[in-house]
Structures are given as structure tokens and as C-alpha cells.
Amino acid sequence: MNDESDDLVPLQSNMSEEENSLGVTRMEAAFGSGDGDENAFAAVPQGQVEAGTIFNRVYRPWRGELGPRWARNYAIYRHHVYGMFTSKGHRYYHPFIRLAVLFILISSMSTLGFLILGSLIGEPEIMRPFGLNRNNIYAKILGFFPRNALWWPLLTALVIGGMISEDRAHGTSAIYFSRPINRLDYAIMKYLSVASILGGVIILTYVSYYSLAIVVEGHGWAYLFDSFPLFISGLAISILLIITYTSIGMALSAVSKGKFFPAVGFLSIILGTKLVAFLIDSLFDRSIVYILSPFDNLAHIGQLVMGINPGYDHPVAFSAVSLLAMNVVSLYVISVRVNSLEVTRE
């Protein structure tokens, strides 16, 4: 009996192991366990994390020979002025801007064609509004329509857009200030760039008209010497107009970060103040409100300088002081905003 009991015990033990193993196998089949489930952690899917890259910036001092100050400043001037003719290596102007500037130049010189036509057919009715005289010289610079109503304000608005505002928006002022170029030179070169483009159109138109009128009308040296002071007066008024329009336009560009606001703001100041002053003067007979208009201040001073009967009732000193204040405030705004330009992107 003992031998049988000894034989049965292992049999019962083996049966128990088979049953246990069978149960484990069923559990594995049911729940997919047994393949890494003995580890005490769960595999949770994670989303992709987009992380930036940290660059190791190594700043090396400049050991080369720095160019002279005038060369660095001229590079700024050339970048903006030459860009009007070619964008290769210079400031990019949209083709529409170039075509608009060309159209303004051709339109403002249309008087030359009437001068030639009048001289060919010998018609005094044509020569009277386009010939060389005091009123016509004044009109070629400070005539309201179409020059100061369309051509000169539109030309300024096209040029000043983004002149300083793009540097503030994109942080490109760091490119200038790391050359190194101080802020005064930066502001002066930007200012001269705008003034040169305006002067290239306004003064070229004025000088061409005066020269062609002398030749076409057949005036001699005596008339040339007599009319030369009048020519100088008109040239001085042209320069004053360029300075005023450039100062106001650059101030608007300095306080913005885009191209649209300076252009529209400049047109609003030049044409809006003129319209408001005209309406108030027509309703209440108060010409003093014209001191709020930059164009009317220039026109009032131009009439005095060129010896034309003034069309305003208030003293010319008021217009002179108002025009001076506009230029001073504009230059102050430019200086403050340029000083606030950071070396790095704002």
C-alpha cells in the first residue's frame, strides 16, 4: 500500500501543474499577457513634440580694415536711390512704383511739349499759359493742380513708404548699426535718399522748363540775366518744398511699421488740411486757417519771394512760422524714433 501511495502522489502533483499551466495559457490567450506584461509599466503613445533648435552663437571680433565713414554712409544712400533704377543689389521697389514715378515725371514735363508746339505754329494763345513769365514759373512749382494736388504728394507717398518703417518692422536696423553706422548718419542718409528722388523729379522738371523756354522763345543773354534772379527764387522755393515734404513724410514713416500708413497719412495731411482750410475760409472768410496747411504755407512764402500778389489775407510771417514749426516737429519725431530703433529686432 505504501508503494501505491508513493506512486499516486506524483501523479496528483503532475495533474495539478497541468491544470495550472492550462489555466495560465487560457488567461494569456484571453488577455494577451505573458509578453512583457511582467514589467510594471504601461506603454502609452505620445504625440510628437516640436521643439526648437538652440544654436551656439560665437561672436568673433572684426579684425579687418573698416571702410571710411563716407563710404558706409554712401552705401545707404546708393542702396535706396539706385534701387529706383535697378533692384540688383539695391532696395527693391515694386514695378508699379517705378512706373508711377516715370508717369509723374513725364506728366510734369508735359509743358515742354506745349512750348515746342506753340513755337512751331506761332500761336500766342498757346504760348501765353506755357511761356516763360513770373506766374508760369511759380505755377510749375507751387501750382495746386495738378502738381501739388496729384504729382508731388503722390510721388512723396510712393517713396517714403517703408523707408524707416520696414527697418522697424523687420529689425533690419541691426544691419546698419552693426557696420557700424551711427543713428545720425542713418537718419541723414535716409532723409537725403528721399529728398534726392523728389528733387530729381521736381528740380529736373523746373530746370528743363526754364532752359527750353529760353531757347524756344529766342531770348538773348540780356533776358537771361534779367530773369536769372527769378529762376533762383523758384529754385529756392523748390528746395523748400522738397525739404518740407521729405520731413513730414519721413516723420510718418518713422512712427509706423508698414508702407500703407505713411503714404496715406501724408496724402491726408497735404490734401486734407488744404481742403479743410479752403472750406473754412469759404464759409467764414478766415484765411488764418491756411497756416495749418503745409502747401498753403509754401504757396504764401513763394508768392512773396517771387513777387506775386499774395492770395492770402493773413501776414506771411504766420505762414513762415507755421512752416518752420512743421519742419522742426517732423525732424524731432524722426530723431526720437530713430533713437528708439534697437540694434536687435524689435
Least confident of 5-9, 35-39, 263-267: 5-9
Burial profile 114-130: b = 16 or more Cβ within 10 angstroms, e = fewer: ebeebbeeeeeebbeeb
Q: What is the pLDDT of residue 17?
A: 52
Kindly tell me the sign of the dihedral angle through the C-alpha atoms of 307, 310, 316, 319: negative
Q: Which of 171-175, 323-327, 334-338 has the highest mean pLDDT?
A: 323-327
For CA atoms 202, 244, 299, 158, the dihedral sign is positive
Q: What are the pLDDT digits (tens) for 67-100?
A: 788 988 998 899 999 999 887 778 889 999 999 9
The mean-pLDDT minimum among 30-39, 287-296, 317-326 falls in 30-39
Of the two residues 248 and 175, the one the predictor is more confident about is 248
Q: pLDDT: is 345 or 162 the higher one? A: 162
pLDDT at 52: 62
Can you give the pTM of this predicted structure?
0.79
List pLDDT tens digits, range 170-224: 777 666 766 678 889 999 999 999 999 999 999 999 999 999 999 988 888 888 8
Residue indicated by cell numbers 489775407 = 313
> What's the pLDDT at 282?
93
**Over the stretch 279-298, which tens digit does the pLDDT of each residue have?**
999 999 989 999 999 999 99
Q: In 3-state terms, what secondary structure has residue 144?
A: helix
Residue 168 makes CB contacts below 8 A (sequence gap 6+) with 254, 256, 257, 337, 341, 346
What's residue 87's pLDDT? 76
Residue 227 has pLDDT above 70, yes or no: yes
pLDDT of 342 reads: 65
pLDDT at residue number 258: 85
Residue 38: pLDDT band by 50, 70, 90 thresholds?
low
Query: What is the rounded distance in angstroms from the CA atom of residue 131 to the CA atom of residue 184?
Result: 44
Question: What is the rounded average pLDDT for all residues in the chain?
Answer: 84
As given in the structure block, the three cell numbers for residue 126 are 498757346
pLDDT in tens, 100-141: 999 999 999 998 998 898 888 877 887 888 888 899 999 999
Res 62 pLDDT > 50: yes
Q: What integer pLDDT is reported at residue 51 of this predicted model?
A: 60
